[in-house]
Structure 1
């Protein structure tokens, strides 16, 4: 059974750090640290920032869901502006900001990403490969 954590934040830029911190805490609780935790947290920042910036529904809430389902960790960001889909743009990873930077970063950090329209919301998601664990591979590390 997959582990899932879902929370909502108001659609306002000042709540983006709270979403980032909540994701960091969930990842730590699940034992996910290091580079993978950094990649998921940065991707959360970018996708939530896009949602609060581009959603045209007033008084909306942004829903963030993390799902741990081997061999992947899924990040989903939902907002109620279902007809306004993200449009990736070719901006380099060194761009300071602006159009397309967030999706470019997510594309570089994740092992897949996309978006979909649901009945009342849209979802932008990213998928991250979990590191191999010895009990899954049958490999037992050598003891020094």
Structure 2
């Protein structure tokens, strides 16, 4: 049975480090460390930063959800600006930003986005083959 950790942060840049720390702690609690934890934490930082930066809904929150099951880890970041789905962007070397989704595509096994009734969600999936992970409801041996 999958185990899930969900939390919300205010849509403010000053709260992005809080999201990153919560993701890192959850992964450590589940026994996920090393390169996979680094990749998931980095992509959580990118997706939360994108949500905080591009969401046009005032006084809103960004939701972060991690789901662990025996075969994969899923990271989902949602915000209430449902009509603005992210699109990959080809950045020039001089541009300061615009590489986040390319990074997501490079580090995740799969990624995408979806519109929900009152939000949009950007997700990334990570394969757990060969990774020892555990959670309250996930066996330690996969």
TM norm structure 1: 0.87
Q: Counterparts of 1:125 and 1:111 in 2: how far apart (Å)?
A: 11
Deviations 1:25-64 (A, max 9, x none): 0000000000000000000000000000000000000000
Provide closer, same or farther for how the CA distance between residues 113 and 95 of structure 1 changes in structure 2, counting only shifts above 3 A: farther
When Rg is computed on C-alpha atoms for both structures, the one with the higher figure is: 1
Aligned with 1:46: secondary structure? helix
User: RMSD over aligned Cα, in angstroms?
Assistant: 1.8
Shift of 1:133: 5.7
Q: Distance in 1 between matches of 2:62 and 2:123?
A: 13
Task: State the 1:89 CA deviation.
Answer: 1.3
The counterpart of 1:125, out of the listed 107, 119, 123, is 123
CA deviation map 1:57-87 (0-9, x unaligned): 0000000000002211000000000000001
Aligned partners of 1:34 and 1:95: how far apart in 2?
31
SS at match of 2:44: helix
Contact 2:7 2:64 in 1 (8 A): yes
Aligned residue in 1 for 2:49? 49
CA distance in 2, matches of 1:37, 1:61: 24
**5+ residue gaps, structure 1:** 137-144
Contact 1:75/1:127 (<8 A) preserved: yes
CA distance in 2: counterparts of 1:20 and 1:102, whole angstroms: 15
